[in-house]
């Protein structure tokens, strides 16, 4: 009987520590990093097409990155850099989450995000960039003892870093 109570207590503890999965948040994926050269070169010139490839989070499974949340984080980051156009944008950015590589378990959870970004000139349709950007982020037990929260933090960090890499790539683009 004592052994059974120990097993039941262990199972209840594990279930408590696991919690319910929640999706990556817009605030967690949004970068506050600014790049001055990007502001100068592309001020108020980009609009973002609807993001593709994201998945809704099933609370009983694992944290995911939703397309709309990813799109909002991307727009917020571009707005922080003064390159998001209110209207009549010169360029259109098409983001697509290609892959979110997540671990099934572990203390340190490293997520890798592959996002394809296509930037086109709105008037001519000319493709100025078509690149898959890869980034990763590791959330540790010191970030959270709850595994589902660690996975969400790793998702958010991987997307945030991915968007930051996009900013650098945009700043380096040769524009006409």
What contacts 42, CB < 8 A, 6 or more positions away?
Answer: 83, 91, 170, 175
Q: Please count the CA atoms within 13 angstroms of the CA of 130 that sit on its side-chain side.
A: 5
User: Three-state SS across 64-87?
Assistant: CCCHHHHHHHHHHHHHHCCCECCC
Q: How many CB atoms lie within 10 A of CB 28?
A: 16
Q: How confident is the model at residue 15 (pLDDT cuts 50, 70, 90)?
A: very low
* % of the chain beyond a pLDDT of 70: 89
Q: How confident is the model at residue 58 (pLDDT cuts 50, 70, 90)?
A: low
pLDDT in tens, 64-87: 899 999 999 999 999 999 999 988
User: Model-level pTM?
Assistant: 0.84
Which residue bears the tokens 């991915």?
162
Give the distance between the most distant pair of CA atoms in the chain. 77
Of the two residues 10 and 120, the one the predictor is more confident about is 120
- Domain boundaries of the chain, sorted by first residue: 25-172
* Stretch 119-136: mean pLDDT: 96
Instruction: Tell which CATH classification among 3.30.70.1350, 3.40.640.10, 3.40.605.10, 3.30.160.150 matches the domain 25-172.
Output: 3.30.160.150
**How deeply is 16 buried, as exposed, middle or buried, from its count of CB atoms within 10 A (0-12, 13-18, 19+)?**
exposed
> What is the rounded CA–CA span in Å between residue 169 and residue 95?
14
User: Which of 27-31, 101-105, 164-168 has the lowest average pLDDT?
Assistant: 101-105
What b/e sequence results for 141-158 when a residue is b if at least 16 CB atoms lie within 10 Å of its CB, and e otherwise? eeebebbbbbbbbbbbbb
């Amino acid at each position: 009987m004592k052994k059974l109570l120990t097993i039941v207590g262990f199972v209840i503890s594990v279930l408590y520590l696991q919690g319910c999965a929640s999706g990556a948040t817009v605030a967690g994926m949004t970068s506050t990093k600014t790049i001055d050269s990007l502001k100068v070169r592309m001020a108020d010139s980009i609009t973002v097409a609807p993001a593709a490839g994201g998945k809704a989070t099933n609370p009983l499974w694992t944290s995911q990155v939703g397309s709309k949340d990813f799109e909002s984080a991307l727009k917020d980051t571009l707005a922080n850099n003064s390159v998001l156009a209110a209207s009549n944008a010169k360029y259109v950015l098409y983001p697509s989450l290609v892959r979110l590589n997540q671990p099934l378990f572990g203390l340190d959870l490293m997520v890798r995000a592959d996002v394809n970004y296509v930037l086109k000139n709105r008037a001519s349709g000319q493709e100025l960039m078509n690149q898959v950007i890869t980034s990763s982020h590791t959330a540790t037990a010191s970030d959270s003892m709850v595994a589902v929260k660690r996975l969400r933090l790793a998702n958010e960090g991987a997307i945030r870093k991915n968007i930051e890499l996009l900013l650098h790539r945009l700043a380096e683009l040769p524009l006409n």
